[in-house]
Structure 1
Amino acid sequence: MQTNRTESFSTADRHEFLNRFHPISQEEFNAIQEKIKSKTLKRNESLIRPGQVQKQLFLIRSGVQMCHYDQHDKKHVIAFTYPPNLCAIPDSFSEQVPSRYGFTSVTASEVDCLSFEDLQLLYAQFPNIETLFRRINEKLLVRLLNLHIEFRSMSIEERFTAFCQRSPHLLQKVPHKYIASYLGIDATNFSKLFNSIRI
């Protein structure tokens, strides 16, 4: 689930956001917050590099980040994250295996970090927290399936328009070459679309 917010995301906002997936009590939310450590990222700083194991789940407080696959000195952008989203490479974090992908801060960012070990402890102590994160994963899978169908069935003009309607703020915050990569559009065609389509 995404919103169009990229400003700083408060603790109270986070509780409200998590409750959209599955209600948790104040005690359960406080237990999550007690395990969290905050981190500030510079522009273009890596959260995860290919080959690293993602040992922490990132809860985005501010800024924009991107997941990418690097090949032949080129970044192929897979996803963007921003508040109030969670940031994870699912197989690396869930299975604690080296990632094939990178996660990089596109802008200066603030993230809260929850370690894999602490999350497992929370699951054991609070079954409702485990239900919460299962529901988040289910919503993510549905969203990824919808995006896959969208990319397969839409023309480049339709993909561009859908992206702009869903995340218009990214056009001002993210270099257009990364958006073009994410949408699977040639940079020249992206420039033409950007200058010709009114959103």
Structure 2
Amino acid sequence: MLNHLSASDKELLYSRLKPVFIKKGEYITLPGQVQENLYLVHSGVQMSFFENEKKMHVVAFTYSGEMCAVPESFFFQKPSRYAIKCLSDSEMNSISFSELNALFDESRSLERFFRKATESVLSGVINRHLELHTLSIEERFRSFAARSPQLFQLVPHKYIASYLGIDPTNFSKLYNSIKI
């Protein structure tokens, strides 16, 4: 993720990052909280989700090499509408909203790097939205398997089924019938 930065920009960024270890089952953000920190994931898997009276709705998974945050809460400093929970022990680096903005004032290339990373996240969200509305359940399953096959071993299947908008029974049938 950071390979495109100069050595001086990496040094500047790393001087502001704080190492964080969050245990499996702990929450990073809860609904109603303002997310104060952006996390860069080194290891572990995290899940963004919300629950209503009927069921849990998985929004996203994050893992090594990705940013972890509720974007609208972090970037606009407003209360989150959903939660982020660690599905496994997670090692990350964090940077606060104010520190990140101070960093942007110091380095245009770091600001550009984070803008490009945010654009990539936005593109992924749009593609996911299109997949949910245009692909069959089998096509959604295959697309996910091609994009993130390691998550089948790391994430309970009921969460992947929710993420894909597939009934858990149908998910189980697909999982058992399609080679990954």
TM-score normalised according to structure 1 size: 0.87
1:62-95 alpha-carbon deviations (Å, 9 max, x no partner): 0100110121273210000001000111110011
The separation in 1 between residues aligned to 2:108 and 2:17, in whole angstroms, is 19
The answer to whether residue 5 in structure 2 is matched with residue 18 in structure 1 is no
Partner in structure 2 of residue 99 of structure 1: 80
Amino acid aligned to 1:151: L
Partner in structure 2 of residue 189 of structure 1: 170
Quote how far apart the aligned CAs of 1:28 are: 1.1
CA RMSD of aligned residues (A): 1.2
Amino acid aligned to 1:82: Y
Partner in structure 2 of residue 54 of structure 1: 35
The separation in 1 between residues aligned to 2:18 and 2:116, in whole angstroms, is 23
Partner in structure 2 of residue 177 of structure 1: 158
1:86-119 alpha-carbon deviations (Å, 9 max, x no partner): 0111110011111001000011111111111110
* Mapping of residues 101-140 of structure 1, within 5 Å: 101-140=82-121
Gaps of 5+ in 2: none
Gaps of 5+ in 1: 1-16
Quote how far apart the aligned CAs of 1:198 are: 1.6
Match of 1:68 among 17, 36, 49: 49
**SS of structure 2 residue aligned to 1:114:** strand
The separation in 2 between residues aligned to 1:127 and 1:167, in whole angstroms, is 32
Partner in structure 1 of residue 127 of structure 2: 146
Aligned residues: 180
**SS of structure 1 residue aligned to 2:9:** helix
- Alignment identity in percent? 47
TM-score normalised according to structure 2 size: 0.96
The separation in 2 between residues aligned to 1:60 and 1:74, in whole angstroms, is 27
Amino acid aligned to 1:154: L
Q: Which runs of 4+ in 1 moved over 4 A?
A: none
The separation in 1 between residues aligned to 2:20 and 2:5, in whole angstroms, is 25
Partner in structure 2 of residue 14 of structure 1: none
